[in-house]
Structure 1
């Protein structure tokens, strides 16, 4: 446990906790780095400030929620586009030349790509809002956040 933080320090560390998931843009090849970064910060400084403890948990819970949503979307993408892809590339001439399968494949793929992009964009926008609020000393609450870490 470190020394207690001043008001300015706890707000700054809270901003870091909210924005720490951005390390995912630098290290995208590390799985769940968007969860690992806020977790590491929160575990390191959680006992130094009640405000940081609250905001660190909020940031961590939001990144866990985002990871769950992205995992579900990727699983649905794999299941739906995979079934179209398997049918489209069968050796049967009826399916190989049937463009409905190709349209279905690209149609579902487009839907999942758009949904995944919306989730990632909302993640970015909401964490920026949270960081600004934390910088102002406001305890921010993410909408639709699963509060798994208490």
Structure 2
């Protein structure tokens, strides 16, 4: 449950906040159950790294995108949502998902 919450929560958070708060749900899962379950820790860590990376990109593009009718930010949000859903589907199958284009910020 916490594994799916980390991935899907990141996708929903990104969708609701225009890409800026996608990291909140994975952070909650990481802090709440990361020490108790290695599986939750691994999944939440992967989701957190991806969502932090793309939330920072969304934050920067929010200012640049103001001149471009928010098209860059929409692309970032779509990426966060799509990859979050794909990761949740893989996690539901019991497999670890490696997010593309993600910096390893949390180790």
Give the TM-score category using the shorter length: 0.7 to 0.9
Query: Runs of at least 4 residues of structure 1 off by over 6 A?
Result: none
Counterpart contact for 2:13–2:24, Cα < 8 Å = no
Q: How far apart, CA to CA, are the structure 2 residues paired with 1:124 and 1:147?
A: 19
Structure 2 unaligned regions, length at least 5: none
TM-score by length of 1: 0.63
Structure 1 unaligned regions, length at least 5: 1-11, 82-108
Pair 1:69 & 2:57 matched: yes
Bigger helix fraction: 1
Deviation at 1:33, TM superposition (A): 3.6
Partner of residue 42, structure 1: 30
Partner of residue 125, structure 1: 82
Pair 1:15 & 2:7 matched: no
Count how many residue pairs are aligned between Structure 1 and Structure 2.
Answer: 106
Q: How does 1:80-91 map to 2 (within 5 A)?
A: 81=67
Q: How does 1:138-149 map to 2 (within 5 A)?
A: 138-149=95-106
Deviation string, structure 1 residues 10-68 (Cα, Å, up to 9, x no partner): xx321111011214556x4xxx5422222111101001221111100011111101111
Aligned to 1:34, what secondary structure does the other structure show? coil
